[in-house]
Chain A
Amino acid sequence: MTIHLKIDYRKFPAEPSEAFPRRRSASRPVVPVSLINKNKIVRHYSLIDSGADLCIFHGGLGEEIDLKVKSGKKLTFFGIGGTGGTQLTAYFHDIEMEIGGWKFPCYAGFSYDLDIPYGVLGQVGFFNLFRVQFDYGKQRIELWSKDQN
């Protein structure tokens, strides 16, 4: 059975700059996601980011679902957080995620180096499970679960 979810973009504060002097807000494809480990759940706003290879969340959220974060499989990566070129570390764990009532397993990274306000939903762990349609004009994201058979 295909799950079909419609989720609205979220608007966040933004600061004007020389290039964009009237900018006061930023609309982003950010969705509430539940991170689940056994009977522990934490909900967190997460960015749907097709440029990210993997799913990564802040280490403090891992602690909230009773993960021993640094006991996970270690990965060093580049990109989000910190300054350009900085190498960051994440620790991967098998958890479950839930979006819009649909629960699925996810091998997710947890990092204390993330310097963005959101979790990140990337290619492996999210895009491999969902077909995603962004409609900035309508401020709407649509997700269809892919057949896992």
Chain B
Amino acid sequence: MAEKTDLRELLKPYSDKWVALSEDSSKVVGVGDTPKKALEQASSRSEKNPILTRVPEHYGTYIL
């Protein structure tokens, strides 16, 4: 399954939220303030292998 790798437009609307993406990262299947809430929404949509990520309030620059 080809995975979507450009997540810019998909994630932009979800500032400061946890987001569950579909298995191929092509769409948002759950959103919440916690991983649990995002996964519950994904589960209610019968999404089998969602991928979680957190969208920060501001996407900054990381020097880790």
Where the two chains meet, the residues of A that have a C-beta atom closer than 8 Å to any C-beta of B are: 8-15, 17, 20, 24-26, 28, 32, 42-45, 47, 49, 51-52, 58, 60-61, 63-64, 79-80, 115-118, 120, 139
B7 close to A11 (CB less than 8 A): yes
Q: When the two chains form the complex, which single residue of A43, A115, A116 contacts B51, counting CB atoms closer than 8 Å?
A: A43
Of the candidates A9, A12, A64, the one whose C-beta lies within 8 Å of that of B35 is A64
Most buried by B among A24, A45, A51: A45
Residues of A within 8 A of B26 (CB): none
- Closest chain B residue to A32 by CB distance? B51
Complex CA distance for A13 and B12, rounded to whole angstroms = 7
List, in ascending order, chain A residues with CB within 8 A of B7's CB: 10-13
Q: Does B45 contact A (CB under 8 A)?
A: no
CA distance A43 to B36 in the complex (A): 12
One digit per residue, 1 when the CB lies within 8 angstroms of any chain A CB and 0 when it does not, for chain B 23-64 equals: 001000000001110010000000001111111101111101
B64 touches A45 (CB 8 A): no
**Consensus secondary structure, chain B interface:** loop
CA distance A116 to B58 in the complex (A): 10
Asked if A13 and B59 make an inter-chain contact with CB atoms under 8 angstroms apart, the answer reads: yes
Query: Which chain B residue lies CB-closest to A59?
Result: B35
Selected A-B contacts with CB under 8 Å, 27 pairs: A8-B5, A10-B7, A11-B7, A11-B8, A12-B11, A13-B7, A13-B11, A14-B59, A15-B59, A20-B61, A32-B25, A42-B52, A43-B51, A43-B52, A44-B51, A44-B53, A45-B52, A49-B64, A51-B64, A58-B54, A60-B34, A60-B35, A60-B36, A61-B35, A64-B39, A118-B54, A120-B64
Does A58 contact B35, Cβ atoms closer than 8 Å?
yes
With A8-B5, A44-B53 given, name 9 new contacts (CB 8 A). A11-B5, A24-B8, A26-B62, A32-B51, A45-B51, A58-B35, A79-B64, A116-B62, A116-B64
